[in-house]
């Protein structure tokens, strides 16, 4: 029985760059943008190329208000985001826009959109937009929007790119752009495991919108550019049992006649195969009602909303040439990965046993042995049958003509395209981390980090013995040590993995280890007796640096809290071993002394900038802005609003002239105390200038404004009376409320200072 259809409309069909003109009038010249509407009213926009301009105008006319739009961006190449500044709904205050996209190679989708909307390129910045915009980074997995289910899977492109499979009301639409065949194959046999995964993702879809940028004749000169041929798109659709295929992402050099010819090629191929598949070329304005009869089943996959950082993960590369090793090492370093190289099978087995990799890239032909056998040996040695493996090969197709069923998860044909390698490494590492998280959940691993190593659970808490000698010796502080000294230092060390936001240790805790950061980044913060609830930023440390040494040297509890900023691997060295190494190695002790002196100088510089106001003991202007960014980021993640109050003390000069500066100081203290006593400990109160105060109230909205202002007014009046201050202590207070706090406080401060938002108290 047919259920409610999904309605699909094409607003932009072109790839790479807009191509308006009479030669592209039939199929369109705008870049990628597709609208999908479910029967329950859910609006899904797939990519935001220049076609988004007309879509935005149509939504303002046809959709019910307020607008709630879900924008899914496959990746942040320009032709998929360049229509965003011209998407009219984002300028409307009653629009809520949820943006979903994979994390880019160098910046998030929010940073990419912000970059193209700088004043140098566009008159309105992202933070000037009046709509409520939420950004969510996606991985492989699934998520729900009301009754609509979205499944995601990585594609083969020159940047991390995700495809979307949308299921609602029994109908399924798959959106696949941009994507290149994993293997240079022709015909209906798909031998590469990546192509098999791709077909499985499309299986049984009612409609597939697929990248078909090139003809079969064009493709040989375009290998590595990240796009498909019309033949490949048609073949995978037939192999997946798809009902209807829309050829998409037209090449900017193809006019209407060429696209019509390619559409004919696809239809002829379907007829030749004797398949049942309707093929059309995407055209602007094309509207389809996708009817289905099968209810989508909840996939056995992880949530696509869970972000997994790959920073600090280890990649073992075996048998590559010197040039390839240099290129791969540079690619991996850009993502903060630990690069391990081995020239042959024997070295690789030893190194993998000492430093277990998170992923291996193995040449098919090794000097002594073959890559297939080595992959099996490493997995067996580490007892990790699912350790991801990528195989380097000189062949663009499987030589036997059979489907590849060997141990490798992925095959890379030379010459290696570095952006594709980077994207595929990221995809396999996130898949491995997803499996690892599920393994942790099954094993019942819970709770925060502590200084005591956890139970043996690979790779967390694995006893290392002398395994990490080479990595430790590469850290600047330990380079002066001999091999024997390094081996003794790590003989009882253990490795620990910390997830973003997890505490390595907390201020005031006792500890028995010093931590060497093998990969990732940590942030150091501390609280003071004057402001125990406010964490002061002390610094950030990365790969090769150490933390926890102060507590050991001074033999007392931790002096600060250390939090992982991203996925971070640390080597935990016992206190006695570290102290013994210091005693036996004057160069190590001198290096530590220099390190501590440099940190002390940096901390003094930071604290001098962020020291509290000596009169009121409130945060100063600089601290207010630093703390604002942290608190506002948290509010955006929680999707909660904030209130900013800007308060000026009137007639302070007259009070100083008539009663003396000591009385003026008492007035300022009374105002500060009134603000502190009228707000929560989680709010931020600061002395912003000589007679100015700024207050940020988090998780508060319009309904709390009057309550807070009345509370401040009555508290100040009470303090003035009880402290016998001059009766005429007057202040003006400005108010700004933001449902989506901007990154900087400047915008809210300007709004609060507007005359229409100020009142006397």
Q: For residues 679 and 698, is the Cβ–Cβ distance under 8 A? A: no
Give the per-residue pLDDT at 60: 94
Distances (CA, A) of 643 to 121, 291, 428, 678, 746: 31, 47, 43, 14, 13
All CATH 3.60.15.10 domain ranges in the chain, comma separated: 6-290
pLDDT reading at 252 higher than 80: yes
pLDDT grade for 1, boundaries at 50, 70 and 90: very low
**What was the pLDDT predicted at 659?**
82
Q: pLDDT at position 445, please?
A: 42
Helices of type H across 245-294: 256-273
116: how many CB neighbours lie within 10 A of its CB? 16
Region 587-614 average pLDDT? 72
Token pair for residue 386?
């699912």
Distance in angstroms between the alpha carbons of the first and the last residue of the chain: 68
pLDDT at 552 over 80: no
Looking at the chain, the domain(s) classified CATH 3.40.50.2300 span 314-440
Distance CA 71, CA 35 (A): 9
Q: Which segments within 575-727 are labelled E, that is strand?
A: 642-649, 684-687, 692-698
- The region of weakest confidence among 50-59, 120-129, 312-321, 395-404 is 395-404
Quote the distance between the C-alpha of residue 680 and its chain's center: 31
The pLDDT of residue 156 is 95
Highest mean pLDDT among 23-32, 609-618, 657-666: 23-32
Average pLDDT of span 27-42: 94
The continuous run of DSSP H or E covering 350 comes out as: helix 345-354
Is residue 577 within 8 Å of 583, Cβ to Cβ? no
pLDDT at 459: 40
Does residue 280 register a pLDDT over 60? yes
Where along the chain do the CATH 2.60.120.10 domains lie? 469-610
Domain 6-290, CATH = 3.60.15.10
433 vs 105 pLDDT, higher one: 433
The predicted pLDDT at position 3 comes to 62
Across 446-457, average pLDDT? 40
What's the whole-number average pLDDT of the chain? Answer: 84
- Contact predicate 570/516, CB 8 Å: yes
Is the per-residue pLDDT at 462 higher than 60?
no
Going by C-alpha positions, the residue among 338, 363, 543 that lies closest to residue 429 is 338
Specify the pairing of strand 521-528 against strand 410-413.
Answer: unpaired
Global pTM reads 0.68
Kindly report, as residue ranges, where domains of CATH 3.30.70.270 are found in the chain. Answer: 621-760
Q: Comparing 149 with 294, which gets the higher pLDDT?
A: 149
Residue 274: which region, alpha, beta or left (left: phi > 0; alpha: psi -120 to 50)?
left
pLDDT, one tens digit per residue, over 152-184 is 999 999 999 999 999 998 899 999 999 999 987
Assigned fold of 314-440: Rossmann fold (3.40.50)
CATH architecture assigned to 469-610: Sandwich (2.60)
User: Mean pLDDT across the stretch 668-675?
Assistant: 89
Per-residue pLDDT at 99 exceeds 70? yes
pLDDT value, residue 298: 62
Instruction: Output the six-digit token pair for 153.
Output: 């899977």
Percentage of the chain lying above the pLDDT 90 cut: 36
The tokens describing 62, both together, are: 């046809």
SS3 116: helix
Nearest Cα to 585, choosing from 482, 466, 468? 482
pLDDT at position 665 is: 87
Look at residue 463 in the predicted model and tell me its pLDDT. Answer: 41
The pLDDT, as a whole number, for residue 439 is: 58
Region 301-325 average pLDDT: 82
CATH of domain 621-760: 3.30.70.270
Local confidence band at 320 (pLDDT 50, 70, 90 cut-offs): confident
Q: What is the mean pLDDT of residues 351-373?
A: 87
């Amino acid at each position: 029985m047919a259920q409610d259809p999904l309605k699909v409309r094409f607003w932009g069909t072109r790839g790479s760059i807009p191509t308006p003109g009479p030669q592209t009038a039939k199929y369109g010249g705008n870049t990628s943008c597709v609208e999908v509407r479910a029967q329950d009213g859910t609006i899904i926009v797939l990519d935001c190329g220049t076609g988004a301009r007309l879509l935005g105008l149509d939504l303002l006319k046809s959709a019910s208000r307020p607008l709630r739009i879900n924008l899914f961006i496959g990746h942040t190449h320009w032709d998929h985001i360049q229509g965003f500044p011209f998407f009219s709904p984002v300028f409307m205050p009653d629009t809520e826009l949820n943006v979903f996209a994979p994390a880019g190679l160098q910046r998030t989708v929010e940073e990419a959109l912000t970059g193209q909307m700088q004043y140098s390129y566009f008159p309105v910045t992202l933070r000037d937009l009046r709509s409520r915009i939420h950004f969510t980074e996606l991985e492989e997995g699934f998520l729900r929007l009301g009754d609509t289910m979205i499944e995601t899977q990585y594609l083969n492109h020159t940047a991390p790119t995700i495809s979307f499979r949308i299921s609602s009301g029994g109908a399924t639409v798959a959106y696949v752009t941009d994507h290149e065949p994993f293997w240079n194959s022709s015909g209906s046999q798909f031998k590469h495991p990546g192509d098999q995964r791709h077909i499985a993702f499309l299986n049984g879809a009612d409609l597939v919108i697929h990248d078909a940028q090139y003809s079969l004749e064009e493709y040989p000169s375009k290998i590595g550019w990240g796009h498909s041929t019309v033949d490949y798109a048609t073949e995978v659709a037939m192999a997946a049992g798809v009902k209807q295929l829309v050829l998409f992402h037209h090449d900017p050099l193809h006019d209407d006649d060429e696209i019509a010819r390619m559409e004919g090629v696809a239809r002829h191929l379907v007829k030749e195969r004797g398949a049942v598949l309707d093929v059309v070329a995407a055209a602007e304005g094309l509207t389809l009602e996708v009817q289905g009869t099968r209810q989508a089943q909840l996939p056995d996959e992880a949530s696509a909303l869970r972000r997994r950082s790959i920073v600090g993960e280890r990649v073992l590369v075996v048998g590559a040439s010197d040039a390839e090793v240099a290129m791969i090492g540079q690619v991996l370093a850009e993502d903060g990965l630990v690069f391990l190289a081995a020239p042959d099978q024997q070295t690789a087995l030893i190194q993998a046993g000492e430093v277990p990799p998170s992923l291996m890239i193995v040449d098919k032909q090794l000097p002594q042995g073959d890559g297939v056998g080595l992959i099996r040996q490493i997995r067996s040695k580490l007892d990790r049958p699912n350790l991801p493996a990528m195989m380097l090969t000189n062949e663009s197709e499987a030589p036997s003509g059979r489907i590849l069923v060997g141990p490798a998860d992925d095959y890379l044909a030379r010459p290696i395209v570095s952006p594709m390698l980077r994207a595929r490494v990221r995809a396999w590492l996130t898949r491995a981390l997803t499996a690892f998280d599920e393994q942790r959940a099954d094993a019942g691993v819970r709770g925060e980090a502590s200084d005591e190593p956890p139970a043996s659970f690979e790779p967390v808490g694995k006893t290392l013995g002398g395994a990490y000698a080479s990595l430790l010796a590469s850290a600047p502080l330990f380079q002066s040590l001999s091999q024997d000294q390094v081996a003794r230092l790590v003989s009882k060390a253990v490795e620990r993995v910390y997830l973003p936001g997890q505490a390595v240790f907390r201020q005031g805790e006792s500890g028995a280890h010093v931590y060497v950061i093998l990969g990732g980044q940590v942030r150091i913060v501390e609280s003071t007796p004057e402001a125990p609830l406010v964490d002061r930023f002390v610094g950030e440390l990365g790969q090769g640096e150490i933390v926890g040494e102060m507590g050991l040297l001074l033999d007392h509890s931790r002096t600060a809290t250390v939090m992982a900023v991203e996925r971070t691997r640390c080597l935990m060295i016992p206190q006695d071993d570290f102290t013994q190494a210091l005693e036996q190695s004057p160069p190590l002790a001198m290096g530590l002394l220099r390190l501590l002196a440099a940190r002390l100088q940096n901390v003094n510089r930071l604290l001098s900038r962020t020291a509290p106001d000596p009169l009121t003991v409130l945060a100063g202007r600089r601290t207010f802005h630093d703390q604002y960014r942290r608190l506002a980021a948290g509010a955006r993640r929680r999707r909660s609003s904030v209130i900013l109050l800007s308060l000026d003390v009137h007639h302070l000069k007259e009070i100083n002239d008539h009663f003396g500066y000591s009385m003026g100081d008492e007035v300022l203290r009374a105002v500060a105390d009134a603000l502190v006593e009228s707000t929560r400990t989680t709010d931020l109160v600061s002395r912003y200038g000589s007679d100015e105060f700024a207050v940020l109230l988090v998780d508060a909205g319009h309904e709390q404004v009057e309550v807070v202002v009345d509370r401040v007014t009555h508290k100040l009046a009470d303090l003035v009376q009880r402290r016998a201050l001059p009766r005429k202590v007057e202040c003006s207070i400005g108010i700004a409320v933001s449902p989506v706090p901007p990154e900087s406080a400047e915008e809210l401060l300007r709004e609060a200072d507007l005359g229409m938002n100020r009142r006397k108290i």
